[in-house]
C-alpha cells in the first residue's frame, strides 16, 4: 500500500546537482513539485559539521541523497549527521540514497591486521538511524550482507545497454565486451548478454602492489570495437594500459563504460592521452570541471533511474524491475529515444 505522505528528499553537499535532478525527475512523474527539503549543512571554523532542517519532517518518508565520494570522510559524516537530525525530528523512515558507496573496496581482509571498513560503515549507518540503503553498482555485491536492513543495489548495465545500442547502431556485430580483470567478469558478462556480444578478459598480473607487470588478452579482439566495463575508475592507470594492450592485439577501437568516475590524481590527463576513443561514466560522483572539459569523457545521467527507484520504494512496487533495460527504455526515452 502506498504511503499517505509524499516522499521527501534532502541532500548534503556531496552531489547537490544530482539531488536536484532527481527531484526534478520525480516532479515529472508525480505531476507536482518535488523540491529538496530546506536545510543547511555547514561547517564551523574548525571543520565540524552542523545540520539544521527548516521543514517539519515528522512522520515523513525521507530520502537522503549523498554519495560518499571524495572527500569521503566529510561526505560520510554529513550523511550520518543528516540521518541523526531526521531521526531526532521523528521522521517515519530514513533511506540513504548513496549513488556511490565509499569504502566499498575494503570489503574483506586482504592481509593480516587490516580492517573490513565496508562493514564498519554499514554498522555506523544503521546506528545513525538509516533504515534502507539505495545505491548503484556496489564494488562487491556481498556488501549487501553487511547490513541488517534492506539494501537495493541498482545496476548500471541496463543503462549501458541502452547507451551502446543507441551509440553503436550499425556496429553491434563488431562489438566485444571486455572485463579489465578476472574479478569483473560477472559485470562484463551481464552487459554482453544484454546486447548479444561476445566476452573477452584482460588478465593482469602484478609485479608488486600498485604496479601491473603484465597484461594478457583472453579472447580474439582483432578488428573488434572493444567496450571495457568496470564499476569504478580511480587513477585510470590500469584502464589506459588495458586499452593499449587491446589495440596492440588488433582491436579497431576501444571505449570504456565505468560506473563511478572517481578520477583521482593524474586520471583525467591519462584518459585524455589514452588510445580510448571514449570513457563513459555516470554522474554518481559530482564531476569536476576538468572532467566535463575532457573531450573523450562522456557523462550519463543517473537521475532517471534513482527517481524511479525512490518512487518504487515509496509506493511498495518492485525495484528489481529496474534491472531490465527494456523497463528503463521509457524512463530514458528523453536520452536514447525509442
d(CA 167, CA 68): 31
d(CA 70, CA 65): 15
Residues labelled catalytic: 204
DSSP-based three-state secondary structure for 259: strand
CB 188 within 8 A of CB 177: yes
d(CA 336, CA 298): 14
d(CA 234, CA 105): 12
Count of alpha carbons within 13 angstroms of residue 253, beta-carbon side: 11
Among the listed residues 33, 101, 91, the one whose alpha carbon sits nearest the alpha carbon of residue 66: 101
d(CA 172, CA 225): 9
d(CA 311, CA 7): 8
First to last CA, the chain: 32
All three cell numbers of 18, joined, read 544530482
d(CA 269, CA 235): 10
Residue with cell 592521452: 273
d(CA 334, CA 327): 14
Measured from the Cβ of residue 203, the count of other Cβ atoms closer than 10 Å reads 13
d(CA 308, CA 274): 35
Amino acid at each position: 500500500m502506498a504511503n499517505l505522505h509524499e516522499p521527501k528528499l534532502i541532500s548534503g553537499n556531496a552531489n547537490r546537482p544530482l539531488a536536484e535532478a532527481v527531484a526534478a525527475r520525480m516532479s515529472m512523474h508525480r505531476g507536482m513539485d518535488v523540491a529538496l527539503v530546506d536545510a543547511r549543512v555547514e561547517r564551523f571554523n574548525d571543520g565540524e559539521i552542523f545540520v539544521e532542517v527548516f521543514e517539519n519532517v515528522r512522520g515523513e518518508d525521507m530520502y537522503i541523497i549523498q554519495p560518499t565520494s571524495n572527500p569521503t570522510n566529510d561526505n560520510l559524516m554529513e550523511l550520518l549527521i543528516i540521518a541523526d537530525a531526521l531521526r531526532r525530528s521523528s521522521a517515519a523512515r530514513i533511506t540513504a540514497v548513496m549513488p556511490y558507496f565509499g569504502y566499498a573496496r575494503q570489503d574483506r581482509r586482504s592481509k593480516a591486521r587490516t580492517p573490513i571498513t565496508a562493514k564498519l560503515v554499514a554498522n555506523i549507518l544503521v546506528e545513525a538511524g538509516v533504515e534502507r540503503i539505495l545505491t548503484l553498482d556496489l564494488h562487491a555485491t556481498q556488501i549487501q550482507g553487511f547490513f541488517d536492513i534492506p539494501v537495493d543495489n541498482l545496476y548500471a548495465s541496463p543503462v549501458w545497454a541502452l547507451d551502446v545500442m543507441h551509440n553503436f547502431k550499425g556496429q553491434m556485430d563488431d562489438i566485444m565486451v571486455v572485463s579489465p580483470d578476472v574479478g569483473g567478469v560477472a559485470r562484463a558478462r551481464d552487459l554482453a548478454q544484454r546486447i548479444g556480444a561476445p566476452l573477452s578478459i584482460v588478465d593482469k598480473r602484478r609485479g608488486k602492489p600498485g604496479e601491473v607487470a603484465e597484461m594478457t588478452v583472453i579472447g580474439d579482439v582483432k578488428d573488434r570495437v572493444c567496450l571495457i566495463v568496470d564499476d569504478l575508475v580511480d587513477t585510470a592507470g590500469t584502464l589506459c594500459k588495458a586499452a593499449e594492450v587491446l589495440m596492440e592485439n588488433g582491436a579497431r577501437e576501444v571505449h570504456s563504460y565505468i560506473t563511478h568516475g572517481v578520477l583521482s590524481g593524474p586520471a583525467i590527463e591519462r584518459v585524455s592521452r589514452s588510445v580510448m576513443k571514449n570513457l563513459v561514466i555516470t554522474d554518481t560522483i559530482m564531476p569536476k570541471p576538468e572532467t566535463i572539459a575532457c573531450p573523450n569523457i562522456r557523462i550519463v545521467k543517473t537521475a532517471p533511474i534513482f527517481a524511479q527507484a525512490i518512487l518504487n520504494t515509496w509506493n511498495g512496487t518492485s525495484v528489481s524491475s529496474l534491472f531490465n533495460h527494456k523497463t528503463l527504455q521509457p524512463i530514458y526515452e528523453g536520452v536514447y529515444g525509442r
